[in-house]
Every structure is written in C-alpha cells, then in structure tokens.
Amino acid sequence: MKLKYIYLLALLIGITLACRDDDSIETTNNDDEEDTEVIVDTETYPDWTDATHSKNADLDYSIVFNQNEVLRFDIKIDSDDWSDMQSDISSNLGSSSRPGQTSTSDFDPIWVPCSFNFNDTEWYHVGIRYKGNSSLQSAYQSGNKKLSFKLDFDEFEDDYPSIKNQRFYGFKQLNLNNNFDDSSLMREKVATDLFRQFGLAAAKTTFCVVYVDNGSGSKYYGVYTLVEEVDDTVLSTQFADGSGNLYKPDGDAASFANNTYDKDEMEKKTNEEEADYSDVKSLYTIINSSDRTSNTAAWKTSLESVFNVDGFLKWLAANTVIQNWDTYGNMTHNYYLYNDPSTSQLTWIPWDNNEALQYGKLSGSLSLSLNEVSSSWPLIRYLINDDEYKQVYEDYLLQFVNEVLIPANMSETYSTYYNLLKDYAYAEQSGYTYISYDSEFDQAVETLKTHAQTRYEAVINYLK
C-alpha cells in the first residue's frame, strides 16, 4: 500500500511539472494547430464593483456628468508608455520645439494603458491617447502641454482579461477636451448644452480638472471639459434606435459639394464591417440632383426621405446665432451624421464646439442671412434658396433666442460657471494653459455675457 501512495505522489508531481509554465501565459499544443498563447491575468482589482466598473451597470449621468461641481481625475501613465506617446506625436506632428516639422494632423495617436482614479476609486489599465486634429497640432507645436485625451475603459481587455468590458459608471469611452484657445474655459460646454436645450441630439458635458503622473509625480493639467462619446452612449440614449450607421465626415466630401463624394472621407464609426455607405451616397446624389430646379417638389420629397431636413435647419439656426464658425459652412469637419433605422433619415449631430460663441477666425462666422454661403456648401445654400425651408430656418432663429439664448439666463449661467471654475482657472500653470493672466479669464466670461445680448439683438433686428 505504501508503494502505491509513493507511485501516485510521483505521478502527481510529474503532471504538475509538465503543466508548469509562465505565470501569465499558457501554451496549448495540438498536432493540427500552431501554439496558441492564452493570457492569464494574475492581477487583483480591489476597487472593482458592479456599480462602478461593470458593463451591466446603468449609465450614471448624475455622477459622470455632475453639473454642480468640478470633477477631479488623476491619471498615472508608466514612464515608458509616456515616452511612446511623445515619440508618436512628435513623429506625426513634428517636435514641439520645431513647429511645422511635419504636418499629419489626421493621424491616429497610439493607445497606452493608464491608471485612472476618481473619488478614491481606481479603474485599471484604461486606454488613453491624444485626440484632436488641427487643435492638437496647433497646441502641440506651440509647446503647450495641455492636450486633449480620449479614454477607453476596456481598450486593453485582451492584455488583461479580468478587466473585460470595464466601464466607468456604464460608459466605455469619454473625451477630455482641453478647451483649446478658450480663455473662458466654457465655450465647449455652453455651446453643446445650448444645442441639447434646443432639442437637438448632442453630447453631454461637464467640467473637470485633470492631474497626470507620467513617472515624475502628479502634475496639474488644468480645467478640461468632459464630453460624452457619440458612438458610445449618445446614440443609445438620444435616438429611438441606436444600431444604425454613424459617420464622421472629414475632408472635401464632408461639404457634399458636387463631384466631391469619397466614401473614404465618410468615416464610419459603427457597422464598419458592413461597408455600406448607400445612405450618405443617396444624400449626396439627391442634394446635387437637377430635380432641385426642374422638379422642386419631387426633390424635396426625396431629400426629406433620407435627411432630417427639419433637424438640420434647427441646428443651422442655433449654430449661426451662437457663431460657431469651425464647422459646416466654413470647415469640412466637426459634425456627425446618424442614420436612425426608425426613421431611415440621416440626422445632424454637432461636435467639437470649442470655437463657438465668438465672431470666429479665418473667414469668420456666417451671417444670419447666409447670403455669402455658396454652392460649395449645398446643404445650406440649396435649402436656404427654397422659400419654405428658409422660413423654417428663420422661425428657428426666433425660437432659439426667445427660448434658449435668453440674455438674462445666459448671464446667470456664465456667472455660475465663473464661480465654479475661477479657483481652478487661476491655478492653471504656464505651459498647461490657454490663459495668460487671471483677469483674462474674468474678461472672457464678461465677453460671453455681452455676446449673448448682442446675438439676441442681432436676430431681432434681422427678422424685422
């Protein structure tokens, strides 16, 4: 009997040694298959709870987009990963000490993992990368280190299986926008909120402060605007059916001008594997159809079957009043198109509104009459050329200033945000700010109050 126990013990030891491998990787070996690495995550995640980290958690807008306080996020990135981020941005945008060395503003920055902390709770191996196009390039090449970030809470789930489907109170992706070139720190949030208050689909936002530790200790990066991701939660919460095609046009094709269609410039953000662009192609074909002048009624019927014309005119009115110049009508970017399967219409979703609420740069913002807009922007020009559509647009101008951009209400909003942000704004540091001195922040907020009154009066005078 003793020999039998010794034999069994030896057999067990042999099996154990044969199966022993690296702590984190197992290898399977089949005659007909190549070796396959199976990653075993041996880390522990003590802060993980269903309510805070699980995909099954309900979206908690009251916490993530708290409107009554400035959130604080602490981000820790391994020094080697941080170096990789800097090498990546330098090779694509040129050295910050030698602006203009290269110019590839539409590149896709690399993801690296980070530790993300909020309210004494950690989220693990969260994906983080730089975000932005021309604003990222301009900020980086000027030497300003306050750059925008995108977060993806399960970007590295393949490397760390235990964080599979990690969420931040239900959210998979979020954006930390740096309030580029905005000494008020408010324009991104206020403009986006105004769109939503007017009944348009738009991301939710709130203010936050960001601290980053890249291996040299925590550094205050200043006041950011936290912005909801359109293809993560805006579709599922603001549309009847969130399973449709979402596009983020960028480039000449984003103008929808004749002879510009290019599906490669109609970046799909959902249903990418289907490679079906028939909906945006239909809009392009119809808006440029000769029926517009030869059979206007048929043209309008066709257009309204594929495009939410009323929603677009409503956005156009609000956007023109607030002087949001860095988008359609001046620039071929900063909007999404979503085909809601419940309507089969493409709906306009505004995006990246940090340049709003000011006259504008380059050619400036559009006039209320839109007379200067050419056929290079057919979604504006051809619709406003139609008397019925123009009347809808002008009705929305009046509704917007009477119900949303009310000067007294806007002044109160700006004062509330000023009191909420001023200590954080004053604390921003050289190299991590777009504010040159404290009173510049104060003056910028007062300018916003004046802007609301001026734009209200401009609309009333235009419609007389």
pLDDT tens-digit map of 114-160 = 999 999 999 999 999 999 877 788 888 888 999 999 999 999 999 99
Q: Which residue range is the domain that position 373 belongs to?
A: 241-403
Residue 29: band (very low, low, confident or very high) from pLDDT cuts 50, 70, 90:
very low
Residue 4: band (very low, low, confident or very high) from pLDDT cuts 50, 70, 90:
very low
pLDDT at 195 over 50: yes
Please check whether residue 35 lies inside any domain of the structure.
no
Please check whether residue 328 lies inside any domain of the structure.
yes
Please check whether residue 423 lies inside any domain of the structure.
no
Residues 70 and 106 in one domain: yes
pLDDT at 312 over 70: yes
Residues 147 and 293 in one domain: no
Residues 167 and 259 in one domain: no
Question: pTM of the entire structure?
Answer: 0.89
Rounded Cα distance, 140 and 137, in Å: 5
pLDDT at 5 over 50: no
Please check whether residue 460 lies inside any domain of the structure.
no
pLDDT at 105 over 90: no
Report the pLDDT value the prediction gives residue 132, as an integer from 0 to 100. 83
Please check whether residue 1 lies inside any domain of the structure.
no
Alpha helix stretches (DSSP H) within 206-290: 235-238, 278-287
Report the pLDDT value the prediction gives residue 3, as an integer from 0 to 100. 39
Looking at per-residue pLDDT, the higher value among 98 and 464 belongs to: 464
Q: How many domains does the chain have?
A: 2
Residue 37: band (very low, low, confident or very high) from pLDDT cuts 50, 70, 90:
low
Of the three residues 403, 420, 448, the one that is the final residue of a domain is 403
Report the pLDDT value the prediction gives residue 104, as an integer from 0 to 100. 45
Please check whether residue 349 lies inside any domain of the structure.
yes
Looking at per-residue pLDDT, the higher value among 96 and 357 belongs to: 357
Residues 327 and 313 in one domain: yes
Please check whether residue 95 lies inside any domain of the structure.
yes
Residues 212-240, mean pLDDT to the nearest whole number:
98
Residues 312 and 217 in one domain: no
Whether the CB-CB separation of 187 and 163 falls below 8 Å is answered with: no
Residues 346 and 256 in one domain: yes
Residues 324 and 391 in one domain: yes
Residues 445-452, mean pLDDT to the nearest whole number:
98
Whether the CB-CB separation of 129 and 112 falls below 8 Å is answered with: yes
Please check whether residue 437 lies inside any domain of the structure.
no
Of the three residues 380, 403, 426, the one that is the final residue of a domain is 403
Average pLDDT of the residues of the chain: 91
Of the three residues 368, 403, 438, the one that is the final residue of a domain is 403
Residues 270 and 144 in one domain: no
Residues 256 and 382 in one domain: yes
Residue 331: band (very low, low, confident or very high) from pLDDT cuts 50, 70, 90:
very high
Report the pLDDT value the prediction gives residue 101, as an integer from 0 to 100. 40
Condensed to tens digits (0 to 9), the pLDDT of residues 355-412 reads 999 987 767 899 999 999 999 999 999 999 999 999 999 999 999 999 999 999 999 9
Residues 255 and 312 in one domain: yes
Residues 270 and 399 in one domain: yes
Condensed to tens digits (0 to 9), the pLDDT of residues 73-84 reads 999 999 999 999
Rounded Cα distance, 387 and 397, in Å: 15
Residues 263-274, mean pLDDT to the nearest whole number:
97
Residues 146 and 293 in one domain: no
Whether the CB-CB separation of 369 and 316 falls below 8 Å is answered with: no
